[in-house]
Chain A
Amino acid sequence: MPIVSISLGDMEWNKTGSWRVQRPFYEEKTPPCSAACPGGNDIASFIQKITQGDFEGAWRLIKEENPFPGICGRVCFHPCETKCNRGHFDEPIAIHALERFVGDLAATLSKKMERLPGKKKEKIAIVGSGPAGMSCAYHLAKLRYDVTVFESLAFAGGILRMGIPAYRLPKDVLDREISQIEALGVEVRRGVSIGQDLKVEDLKDYQAIFIATGAHRSRALHIPGERGRGVFSGLDLLKKINLKERVELGERVAIIGGGNTAMDVARSAIRLGKKPFILYRRSKEEMPAFEEEIVEAIEEGVEIRYLVNPIRMKSDDGSKRLECLRMELAEKDESGRRRPVPVPNSNFFTEADSVVIAAGEEIETSFLPRGIKERDGIVLTQRDGMTGVERIFAGGDLTSNQRTVAHAIGSGKKAAMAIDCYLKGKDSEEAIRQVLIGEGPSISIFRYLHPGERPRNPHIVTFEELNMDYFETSKRQRESKSPLRARIKRFGEVTSTLTESAALEEAERCFNCGTCNECENCYVFCPDASILKVGEMLSHQVDYDFCKGCGICFKECPRGAISLEEEAR
C-alpha cells in the first residue's frame, strides 16, 4: 500500500456531461466596429491578422469587402472608431490607421489582385468611376462579369480624384488601388461622357447598368451676385486644383459653407499662398465637416467665422463685397441641428478678392432615362439599388444623402450583389437580408459568396459583455503629422502611415469583440478539461460528454466569443 491514495483507473466512464443544465458553445458575434462600417469591413478579423504578423492576410480580408484600404484608411470618417468598445475603456482603436497601414504595406509588397480565371459572363456597364462605381466594378469582376466603366474625365476616381486634395489622399495611392481593380479585367473608358458622348439608352449591349455619377453640382445660394466674376463653386475649384489646372484665385478668399468641401477649399487655398476665411451660418457644433478636418484647417491658419450668412455679393474694383447677416441658433430642424435665424438689423459687410460657394452639392439628372424618378434631391431606387427602369441600378451619392466615401463603397458593393441576383433571377432583397452585418444596413459580400463560412451571430457585442479583467489601459497610437510650416507650403500628405511596430502595438489593443483570438482562457480555466484542441489550436468544440455546464469558459472569455444557453430537455 502506498503512503498516499493513488488512483490507477480513470473517470472516463463517468460522463459528467449528463449533469449539465446549460451548454456553452463557441459563437462568434458581431463587433460594433464592423456593424458601423458602411463598407462592411470585417475589422476585428483583419486586426487579428495584424497581431499575428500576417499583413497580407489582413489585406486580403479587407479586400474581400472593400477594394480601397489605402483610401479608406485616409479619408473615411471612421464611424467604426466611434462605436469601438475600447472607447468605453480608454481610447478607441485607431482602425483607420491600421487599415491604411495594411493598404500601404500591401503596396510595398507589390500585392496585385490576381486576374480571376474562368469565362466572363454577362456584360455590365458602370457610369462613373468614383468610389461607388469602382466598388461595384470590383465586386462584379470578382463575380466573373465583363465590366466596363464609363468615366467622363480623363482620369478615373471621381470625387476621390477631383474632390479630395492630395494632402489628404495622395494620387499615387488612388492610382494604385484603381489599377488593382483594372488588373481584375475591368475596363475603364476614360473621357467618355454618358449624356454627351453616349446616352444611357445606347448601352444596349449591357445586361445591366449601374449609374453612380455622384453629386458634383455646387448648390446655389440663391442670393444676388453669386454668378458674378470671381465667384467659384467649391467642387469646380477643387477639381481644377486637384487636376493641377490654372486657377485665378485672389488674395483674400471667402468660402461659404461648413462641410468638407469648404474645408478642402480653404486648406488648398492656404497651400496656394492665399488667405482664406470660412463663413458659416451655424456654430462649430453643427458643422458637417469631419472633426479632424476642422482641427487641421484651424491649425493651418484658416479663419472660420461662425453664425454669418451672406445675403448679397457685389463686385467692387475687382474685389468682392459681401453683405452678411449675423445669425443665432433657434430650435432643432429636421436635420437634428439647431436652425440658424437672422439677428434683425445685424447687416454688415466683409471684403474678399474671391468667393467660393461650398454650401453642399446636388446631383445631375439630366442624362437619366425616363422612368428613373428623383425626389428630395436623390434618385429613387429599391432597397437593392434597382431604379424604376429594368436592368438599371443606381447608387452612391446619386441615391443617398449620406455622402461619404464609405457609404459609396458599400452602395457599390450592394449593387454588385443585386445585379448578380438580378441576372441569376434570385431574390436580391432576401439575399441582402442574409448577409447583413449585425442589424445592417452594411452587408458582407464574403458571406454572399461563401455561405456558411465564418458565421457570426448578428448580435452586436456590448462593452458590458466583455471581461475587462484581462485588459490593461494603453495609449492609442497616433499617426505623426508633418510640421505645420512644411505642411502649408505644399500638397504633400499631412499624416504618415503607422510604423510596423506602432501598428502591431495598436492591433494588440483590440478587444477582438465577439471573435476568438486563441487566448486559451477557456482551455486554461475549464475544470473538466472539456475544451478540445486540434494540435496547438483550439478546436472551438466542447466535449459535451464531460462538460458540466459550469459556464466558467463563458464568463472568462474576455471577448464574448462563447455563448451559454439552457440545455434543451
Chain B
Amino acid sequence: MKRVITGNQAVAYGVILSRVEVISAYPITPQTTIVEELSELIASGRLKTRFLKVESEHSAMAALIGASTGGARVFTATSSHGLAYMHEMLHWASGARLPIVMVNVNRAIGPPWNIWSDQSDSLSQRDTGWIQLYCENNQEVLDTVLQAYRIAEWVSLPVMVVLDAFVLSHTSEMVDIPSMEEVEGFLPNYCPRYPIDTEEPVGFSIITTPDHFFEFRYKIQKAMEEVPEVAKKVEDEFRSRFGRSYGAIERYGPEEPDVLLMTSGTVTSTSRIVIQKLVQKGYSVAGLKIKRFRPFPSEEIYEAIKEAKKLVVIDRNLSAGVGGIFAQELRASLYSREVRPQLFGFISGLGGRDITPNLIEEAIQYTLDHHQPEGEILWLGLKR
C-alpha cells in the first residue's frame, strides 16, 4: 500500500507492523507526533499495545528495560534533551543486552533553545553501546524500524533509528507500506533469551566484582562485531521480500573520483543532486552515504574511499574542541591504513540551518582548489 506520509508516521507504521507490545514515552518536539499517533491508536482500541505514561524520558527507558526483560517487544521515541535525560538508562539497556528499539529524531540541544535538526543529540550517545542507524528518507525510516528489531533481537543489543527533525519527521513523502502478513514473515515474534519464570526467580543485572565485569564488556564488543554480518543477512532477506536495501554505507557516482563526499541523514539526498550536476559538468566527484554509525563500518568505508584522492565530510554536529564527529571517526578508522586520502572536515547546518546545494558545491569546490585544508575544522555557511 502506497501512502504519502511523514517520517514520524512512517515510524508509527514500522512500530505497528513490528507488533510492539509495550510503548513508553514522554513527549518532546519533533518526536511527539510518533507516540501521539500510536497512543491514539491504542486509546481507540485499534492497537493492542500497552502504553505506559511516564513523567520523564529516564523513566520511559527504565520502564522499557523492565518490559523488555519481561519478554516484551518494546519501543520508545525521543529527541534532544529527552535523549540526554535517558543517558544513564541507555547504558543500562545495552549492558543488560536488551533488544530495545528507539527512534531518535535529531534535534539540537540547547541552549540556545532550538528545536531544529542537528545530530549532536544522538552522536553524544555514541559510547552507550547502542547500534545507531541514520535514515535518508521516509521509506528508509519505515524499513529501518523493521530491520532494527531483527538485528537487535539477533545480537541482543539495543538499536537507535535516527532521522532528521522536520526535514523527515514532519515532511510527507510517498512510502510503500508492507502488509502485516509480509512483515510477519520477515520479523517473527520476539523470543527472549532469558525468559522470566516466576517459579524459578533469578536476579538480572546484579552486581559483579572485577572478576567478571570485564568479560561482560568484552561480550558487548563481540556482539557489536557481529553486527555487520548480521545486518547484511537481515538486509539480504529484506531485499528478497520487499525489494529494497540500504547497506551500512552507500557509494554513488563515478569510480576513482578526485573528491568523495561523505554525508549522513537527509544531507545525502541534497548531495546526490549536487554530485549528479557536477559530474555532468565534468567534475570528478562521487558520494558516500553513511547509514550505520555504530558499530562504525570501517571496513566498508575503507573499501569505498581508498581510490578517492580527497575526502569531504559534512558534519551536522560539533564536538567542541575537536570538530565534526563523523570526520573524527573517519580519521580514527583510517589511521592504521596505508592509503589515507586527504580529509576536509566541514561543519554545517547546526541548529537546523539549511545545507543547501550551493553550500555543498562550495565545499566540493574548496576541496578541489586546496591541496590540503586550511584547518582541522572548515566552517560551511558560517556568518562571520
How far is A6 from B205 in the complex, measured between Cα atoms in Å?
6
Verify A5–B208 contact, CB threshold 8 A.
Answer: yes
Verify B156–A6 contact, CB threshold 8 A.
Answer: no
Residues on B with C-beta less than 8 A from A154 are none
Does B219 count as interface, using CB distance less than 8 angstroms? yes
Verify A6–B201 contact, CB threshold 8 A.
Answer: no
How far is A10 from B202 in the complex, measured between Cα atoms in Å?
8
Verify A6–B216 contact, CB threshold 8 A.
Answer: no
Chain B proximity mask over A1-36: 1 for CB below 8 Å, otherwise 0: 111111110110000000000000000000000000
Instruction: Output the nearest chain A residue to B69 by Cβ-Cβ distance.
Output: A4
How far is A2 from B219 in the complex, measured between Cα atoms in Å?
9
Q: From residue B383, how far is it (CB to closest CB) to chain A in Å?
A: 50
Residues on A with C-beta less than 8 A from B112 are none
Residues on B with C-beta less than 8 A from A7 are 202-204, 206
User: Could you tell me the dominant secondary structure of chain B's interface residues?
Assistant: loop
Residues on B with C-beta less than 8 A from A2 are 194
How far is A388 from B156 in the complex, measured between Cα atoms in Å?
89
Verify A6–B97 contact, CB threshold 8 A.
Answer: no
Chain A proximity mask over B177-219: 1 for CB below 8 Å, otherwise 0: 0000000000000000110000001111111100010011001
Q: Within residues 140 to 169 of chain B, which ones have a CB less than 8 A from any CB in chain A? A: 156
Q: Which of B95, B204, B215, B219 contacts A6 (CB 8 A)?
A: B204
Q: Within residues 456 to 496 of chain A, which ones have a CB less than 8 A from any CB in chain B? A: none
Q: Within residues 150 to 188 of chain A, which ones have a CB less than 8 A from any CB in chain B? A: none
Q: From residue B151, how far is it (CB to closest CB) to chain A in Å?
A: 16
Verify B193–A6 contact, CB threshold 8 A.
Answer: no
Verify B156–A8 contact, CB threshold 8 A.
Answer: no
Residues on A with C-beta less than 8 A from B205 are 4-5
How far is A5 from B202 in the complex, measured between Cα atoms in Å?
10
How far is A1 from B205 in the complex, measured between Cα atoms in Å?
13
Verify A5–B216 contact, CB threshold 8 A.
Answer: yes
Does B5 count as interface, using CB distance less than 8 angstroms? no
Residues on A with C-beta less than 8 A from B201 are 10
How far is A3 from B96 in the complex, measured between Cα atoms in Å?
8
Q: Within residues 79 to 137 of chain B, which ones have a CB less than 8 A from any CB in chain A? A: 95-97
How far is A416 from B215 in the complex, measured between Cα atoms in Å?
79
Q: From residue B230, how far is it (CB to closest CB) to chain A in Å?
A: 15
User: Could you tell me the dominant secondary structure of chain A's interface residues?
Assistant: loop
Residues on B with C-beta less than 8 A from A4 are 95-97, 194, 204-205, 216
How far is A8 from B206 in the complex, measured between Cα atoms in Å?
10
- Count of chain A residues with Cβ under 8 Å from any Cβ of B? 10
Count class of interface residues, chain B? 10 to 19
Residues on B with C-beta less than 8 A from A11 are 203
Instruction: Output the nearest chain B residue to A1 by Cβ-Cβ distance.
Output: B215
How far is A10 from B206 in the complex, measured between Cα atoms in Å?
11
Instruction: Output the nearest chain B residue to A2 by Cβ-Cβ distance.
Output: B194
Verify A8–B216 contact, CB threshold 8 A.
Answer: no
Verify B202–A3 contact, CB threshold 8 A.
Answer: no
Verify A6–B212 contact, CB threshold 8 A.
Answer: no
How far is A11 from B201 in the complex, measured between Cα atoms in Å?
12
Q: Within residues 22 to 54 of chain B, which ones have a CB less than 8 A from any CB in chain A? A: none
Instruction: Output the nearest chain A residue to B212 by Cβ-Cβ distance.
Output: A5
Q: From residue B219, how far is it (CB to closest CB) to chain A in Å?
A: 5
Q: Within residues 49 to 63 of chain B, which ones have a CB less than 8 A from any CB in chain A? A: none
How far is A97 from B176 in the complex, measured between Cα atoms in Å?
62
How far is A5 from B216 in the complex, measured between Cα atoms in Å?
8
Residues on A with C-beta less than 8 A from B206 are 5-7
Residues on B with C-beta less than 8 A from A8 are 202
Residues on A with C-beta less than 8 A from B203 are 6-7, 10-11
Instruction: Output the nearest chain B residue to A4 by Cβ-Cβ distance.
Output: B97
Q: From residue B337, how far is it (CB to closest CB) to chain A in Å?
A: 32
Q: Within residues 501 to 560 of chain A, which ones have a CB less than 8 A from any CB in chain B? A: none
How far is A5 from B210 in the complex, measured between Cα atoms in Å?
13
Q: Which of A1, A5, A10 contacts B204 (CB 8 A)?
A: A5
Residues on A with C-beta less than 8 A from B208 are 5
Residues on A with C-beta less than 8 A from B215 are 1
How far is A4 from B204 in the complex, measured between Cα atoms in Å?
7
Q: Of A5, A7, A8, which is in contact with the most chain B CB atoms at under 10 Å from its CB?
A: A5
How far is A10 from B203 in the complex, measured between Cα atoms in Å?
8
How far is A4 from B208 in the complex, measured between Cα atoms in Å?
10
Q: From residue A524, how far is it (CB to closest CB) to chain B in Å?
A: 14
Verify A3–B97 contact, CB threshold 8 A.
Answer: yes
Q: Of A4, A6, A7, A10, which is in contact with the most chain B CB atoms at under 10 Å from its CB?
A: A4
How far is A8 from B202 in the complex, measured between Cα atoms in Å?
5
How far is A8 from B197 in the complex, measured between Cα atoms in Å?
12
Chain A proximity mask over B351-365: 1 for CB below 8 Å, otherwise 0: 000000000000000
How far is A8 from B201 in the complex, measured between Cα atoms in Å?
8
Instruction: Output the nearest chain A residue to B220 by Cβ-Cβ distance.
Output: A3
Residues on A with C-beta less than 8 A from B193 are 3
Q: From residue B87, how far is it (CB to closest CB) to chain A in Å?
A: 20
How far is A6 from B223 in the complex, measured between Cα atoms in Å?
18
Given contacts A8-B202, A10-B201, contact A3 B212 (CB under 8 A): no
How far is A7 from B205 in the complex, measured between Cα atoms in Å?
8
Residues on B with C-beta less than 8 A from A10 are 201, 203
How far is A246 from B207 in the complex, measured between Cα atoms in Å?
91
Q: Within residues 214 to 237 of chain B, which ones have a CB less than 8 A from any CB in chain A? A: 215-216, 219, 223
Q: From residue B177, how far is it (CB to closest CB) to chain A in Å?
A: 35
How far is A482 from B95 in the complex, measured between Cα atoms in Å?
70
Instruction: Output the nearest chain B residue to A11 by Cβ-Cβ distance.
Output: B203
Subset of 22 A-B contacts with CB under 8 Å: A1-B215, A2-B194, A3-B156, A3-B193, A3-B219, A3-B223, A4-B95, A4-B96, A4-B194, A4-B204, A4-B216, A5-B205, A5-B206, A5-B216, A6-B203, A7-B202, A7-B203, A7-B204, A7-B206, A8-B202, A10-B201, A10-B203
- Interfacial residues, chain B to chain A (CB-CB below 8 A): 95-97, 156, 193-194, 201-208, 212, 215-216, 219, 223
Query: Other CB < 8 Å A-B pairs besides A4-B194, A5-B205, A7-B203, 9 of them?
Result: A1-B215, A5-B204, A5-B216, A6-B202, A6-B203, A6-B206, A7-B202, A7-B204, A7-B206
Which 7 residue pairs spanning A and B have beta carbons closest together? A7-B203, A7-B206, A5-B208, A3-B97, A4-B97, A5-B206, A6-B202
